[in-house]
């Protein structure tokens, strides 16, 4: 992550533990992403596979998206914080 926003200069590093809420958002994004991938797999090619196998493959397919989900969760948390306490 950048230390400051290149456009507006907002400092991203806040007090210790500031991004704890972003972890919950990131978890929700990961669960939603894996569920969506598993749903697509189940409906298209994996109708005969077990649920454990489908979830395992979906988790592996989601792994490259983890850095993007991490950054997106932090950005969403900053927006929530700025909306609640401008």
Match 């005969």 to its residue by tokens: 48
44 in Cβ contact with 57 (< 8 Å): no
Residue 1 clears pLDDT 70, i.e. is over it: no
Tokens (6 digits) for 74: 């932090």
> Which tens digits make up the pLDDT trace of 31-78?
999 999 999 999 988 778 888 999 999 999 999 999 999 999 999 998
Residues 6 or more apart in contact with residue 72 via CB below 8 angstroms: 29
* 14 is a domain residue: no
Domain count, the chain: 1
Q: Model pTM?
A: 0.74
Grade residue 4 by pLDDT with cuts at 50, 70 and 90. Answer: confident
Whether 38 maps to a domain, the answer reads: yes
CA distances from 70 to 27, 49, 60, 65 (A): 9, 30, 16, 9
Q: What range does the domain containing 64 cover? A: 20-84
Residue 2 resides in a domain:
no
């Amino acid at each position: 992550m950048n230390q400051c926003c290149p456009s507006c200069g907002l400092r991203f590093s806040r007090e210790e533990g500031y991004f704890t809420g972003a972890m919950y958002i990131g978890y929700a994004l990961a669960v939603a992403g894996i569920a969506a991938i598993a749903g697509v797999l189940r409906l298209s090619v994996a109708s005969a596979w077990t649920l454990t196998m489908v979830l395992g493959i979906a988790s592996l397919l989601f792994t490259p998206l983890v850095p993007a989900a991490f950054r997106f969760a932090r950005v969403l948390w900053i927006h929530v914080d700025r909306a609640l306490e401008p």
